[in-house]
């Protein structure tokens, strides 16, 4: 490949926020693996099965076209599986739980000890949720309630807290850690004291001498009955609700904007359920399973700050259809929202609290005040009482997710106006985002006529350059006519770029597994091509959110097993774009890369204007050669340094103990104003070429 650089720019400077990300609560066990909380089902609630849409995105069905096909219940067979995907059962102790299959009828409770007369069962009357756990110890020894899967290290203190009351008997309670799989000789025990007839708060510090997997046990006296609830076990180095290594891995990747709490989850989210000290667990309406609400606004906003980014909140836009439905097809949008028999997809709950648009706007405005108000406001005082005095100053607010599920284009645009007026009355500096991917470009023009003067960015999806150019044209024409400055953003994207045949593993002759693809080096290389495309369009594009941040069957940039944390192949790629020195892309004469080209070259200048930044992508399985003429610039001959990411195979992937994608120093040489270099197969590189002063 022979190319010649020019001094002409593609567009304005590149937004510094292109390397951004996305967290969704209630789906994919994302925050559960990131969270410092070590218990599964710490509230002792009955486990709700995952809904079909979750199973489909987890690729659990043998055949997605046949919803009655076999559903895989042993997640260990998947290459994305690690320890944070475990569903650890509560079991009567002494006993051993072992791996728990994930079935619709799974309770994740093993009621009886195999060796002692000990029985556990859920009972109503909990203090953290509806249920609590009753432990009946009819044996003649200390025994009780346990859960496996606690990975502990000797450098850390693990703080246990809970609430316990006696129903019969009495005596001392103990917290203990056993080596996983054993029931004798605890490695540590700590007294909890005696509880009374009412729930009593108990706590203890636990430590181990060797790193490994342990079983936590609550040991109750012989011949006693206790009821317990609201358990917690966390390491003492937790960072505002998150594991320390989850923060460190996120900081390495470096997302500039993090979108939360969804996604589809956001469409049925009440933000007040995730703040304060009395957070009750609840059903995850869209994805199924249980949402424990331990991670909410304060934790997510603090995480974004801790990794060097800022927050973008996706807001629940209320609609009468949300009372019963997760999706209403276009032919039913003129139907009766209060008709539970409407031809539409039900979410199997009755949610009248999410039906009134004016109330929704007021609730969203209260959320803005909680995040951004000072201590003279009700929301600011509430936030300060919850431990955060300084406002989070959340700038970006997206109006819901996949809004076509309930709204017409015009109805949604009007709802955006209602929400924007209420929210900007609280903080006029915030940026409101209107969804632009649901209804088509013609509808988008009509939506802008309604809401354009009340919004600040479009929340788009997709990765096709033609579609992007159409959206940018519509925005540009509207801005020119109305004096606005609406930006393009992509709040959720997946790099499915056409090389996926290399990433797919056959499940049958007609079926492939998308989840196998997400973790692979080919997927990361595809992501690089898409990011380079967005760079060429300058700061008309404000930010783009890679889907997802963590623990989403490897559709993620970091994974956080119990034993540690690691950066995935796409995560290493996103780190490159987060830390790039590229500031403004340059035109290469007669060359415009298509996003699907196997080999791509991009040249930029850095912000100081004293260096060229060369990016070279080869996602093919063959080496190539590049000759780049830099005679338009005053460059000195010599060696120039850079960084290369490469993998041996399109199917290379990272795990906790095996980093198959490598980051290595790399060099190129400039001779006579030219770069002649071998382009390594399956690689992405960035080189810095100094300009003469």
Instruction: Tell whether the model's pLDDT for residue 499 goes beyond 80.
Output: no
pLDDT mean across residues, the chain:
94
pLDDT tens for each residue of 598-612: 999 999 999 999 999
Q: pLDDT > 70: what percent of the chain?
A: 97
First-to-last C-alpha distance (Å) of the chain: 29
Mapping DSSP to helix (H, G, I), strand (E, B) and coil, where does residue 682 land?
coil
227: its two tokens: 């009821």
pLDDT at 63: 79
Which pLDDT score is estimated for 501? 46
Please say if the pLDDT value at position 38 is more than 90.
yes
pLDDT of residue 241: 95
User: pLDDT digits over 164-174, tens only?
Assistant: 999 999 999 99
Residue-by-residue DSSP string for 245-280: HHHHHHHHH--SEEEES-SGGGGG--GGGGSSS-PP
**Residue (of 486, 543, 550, 494) closest to 523 by Cα position:** 494
Strands (E), 505-610: 505-506, 512-513, 541-546, 558-559, 566-567, 584-588, 599-605
Tokens of 460: 């788009």
Q: pLDDT tens across 257-269, in order?
A: 999 999 999 999 9
Three-state secondary structure string covering 90-142: EEEECCCCCCCCCCCCCCCEECECCCCCEEEEEEECCCCCCEEEEEEECCCCC
For the stretch 627-646, pLDDT in tens is: 999 999 999 999 999 999 99
List beta partners, residue 17. 543
Q: Which two tokens stand for residue 511?
A: 């079926």
Q: What's the angle, vertex CA 620, arms to CA 615 and CA 626, rounded to 5?
A: 45
Mean pLDDT of 550-573: 95
Residue 506: per-residue pLDDT: 44
Instruction: Specify the higher pLDDT residue, 117 or 508.
Output: 117
Reply yes or no on whether the pLDDT at 256 is more than 70.
Answer: yes
Does residue 52 surpass a pLDDT of 60?
yes
Predicted local confidence at residue 512, as pLDDT: 56
Domains of the chain: 2-12+583-690 (2.60.40.1180), 17-26+255-498+527-547+573-578 (3.20.20.80), 37-59+90-235 (2.60.120.260)
Q: What is the pLDDT of residues 503-522, one digit of tens each?
A: 444 445 444 577 878 889 98
With a cut of 80, say whether residue 502 has pLDDT above it. no
Predicted pLDDT of residue 651? 87
| Contact status, residue 599 vs residue 1, Cβ threshold 8 Å | yes
The CA distance from 527 to 548, in Å, is 13
- More confident of the two residues 445 and 62: 445
Tokens 């470009």 belong to 441
Does the pLDDT of residue 481 top 80, yes or no? yes
Query: SS3 of 71, please?
Result: strand
pLDDT: is 313 or 194 the higher one? Answer: 313
Gap between the Cα atoms of 47 and 31, Å rounded:
18
Q: Is the pTM of this model over 0.85?
A: yes
Element (H, E) at 231: strand 224-235
């Amino acid at each position: 490949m022979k190319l010649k650089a020019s001094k002409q720019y593609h567009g304005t400077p590149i937004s510094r926020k292109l390397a951004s990300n996305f967290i969704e609560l209630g789906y994919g066990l994302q925050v559960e693996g990131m969270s410092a909380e070590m218990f599964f089902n710490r509230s002792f609630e009955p486990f709700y099965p995952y809904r079909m849409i979750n199973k489909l995105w987890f690729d659990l069905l043998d055949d997605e076209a046949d919803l009655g096909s076999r559903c895989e219940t042993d997640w260990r067979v998947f290459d994305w599986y690690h320890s944070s995907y475990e569903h650890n059962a509560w079991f009567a102790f002494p006993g051993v739980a072992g791996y728990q299959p994930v079935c619709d009828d799974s309770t994740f409770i093993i009621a009886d000890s195999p060796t002692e007369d000990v029985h556990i069962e859920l009972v109503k009357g909990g203090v953290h949720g509806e249920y609590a756990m009753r432990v009946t110890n009819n044996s003649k020894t200390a025994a009780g309630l346990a859960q496996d899967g606690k990975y502990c290290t000797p450098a850390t203190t693990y703080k246990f807290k809970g609430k316990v009351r006696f129903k019969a008997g009495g005596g001392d309670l103990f917290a203990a850690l056993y080596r996983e799989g054993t029931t004798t000789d605890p490695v540590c025990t700590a007294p909890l004291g005696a509880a009374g007839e009412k729930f009593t708060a108990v706590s203890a510090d636990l430590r181990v001498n060797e790193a490994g997997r342990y079983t936590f046990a609550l040991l109750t006296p012989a011949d006693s009955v206790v009821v317990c609830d609201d358990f917690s076990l966390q390491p003492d180095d937790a960072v505002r609700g998150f594991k320390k290594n989850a923060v460190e891995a996120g900081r390495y990747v470096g997302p500039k904007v993090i979108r939360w709490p969804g996604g589809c989850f956001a469409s049925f989210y009440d933000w007040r359920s995730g703040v304060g000290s009395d957070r009750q667990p609840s059903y995850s309406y869209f994805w199924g399973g249980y949402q424990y609400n331990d991670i909410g606004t304060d934790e997510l906003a603090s995480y974004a700050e801790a990794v060097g980014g800022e927050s973008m909140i996706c807001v629940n836009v209320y609609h009468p259809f949300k009372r019963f439905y997760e999706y209403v097809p276009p032919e039913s949008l003129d139907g009766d929202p209060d008709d539970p028999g409407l031809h539409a997809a039900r979410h199997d709950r009755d949610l009248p609290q999410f039906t009134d648009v004016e109330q929704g706007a007021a609730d969203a405005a209260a959320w803005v005040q909680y995040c951004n108000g000072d201590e003279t406001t009700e929301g600011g005082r509430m936030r300060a009482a919850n431990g955060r005095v300084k406002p989070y100053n959340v700038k970006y607010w997206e109006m819901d997710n996949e809004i076509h599920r309930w709204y017409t284009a015009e109805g949604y645009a009007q709802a955006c106006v209602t929400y924007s007026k209420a929210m900007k009355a609280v903080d006029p500096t915030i940026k409101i985002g209107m969804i632009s991917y649901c209804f088509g470009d013609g509808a988008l023009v009509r939506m802008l006529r309604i809401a354009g003067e009340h919004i600040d960015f479009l929340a788009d999806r997709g990765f096709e350059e033609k579609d992007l150019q159409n959206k940018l044209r519509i925005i540009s024409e509207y801005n020119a006519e109305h004096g606005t400055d609406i930006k393009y953003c992509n709040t959720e994207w997946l790099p499915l770029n056409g090389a996926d045949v290399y990433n797919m593993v056959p499940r049958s002759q007609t079926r492939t597994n998308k989840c196998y693809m997400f973790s692979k080096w080919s997927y990361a290389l595809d992501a690089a091509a898409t990011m380079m495309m967005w760079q060429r369009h300058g700061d008309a594009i404000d930010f783009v959110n890679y889907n997802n941040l963590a623990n989403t069957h490897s559709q993620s940039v970091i994974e956080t097993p119990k034993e540690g944390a690691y950066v995935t192949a796409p995560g290493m790629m996103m780190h490159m774009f987060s830390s790039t020195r590229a500031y403004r892309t340059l035109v290469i004469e007669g060359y415009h890369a298509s996003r699907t080209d196997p080999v791509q070259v991009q040249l930029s200048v850095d912000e100081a204007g004293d260096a060229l930044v060369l990016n070279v992508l080869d996602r093919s399985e063959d080496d190539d050669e590049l000759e780049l003429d830099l005679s338009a610039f005053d460059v000195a001959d010599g060696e120039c340094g850079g960084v290369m990411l490469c993998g041996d195979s399109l199917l290379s992937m990272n795990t906790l103990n095996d980093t198959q994608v490598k980051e290595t120093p790399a060099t190129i040489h400039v001779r006579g104003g030219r770069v002649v270099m071998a382009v390594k197969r399956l690689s992405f590189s960035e080189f810095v070429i100094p300009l003469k002063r």
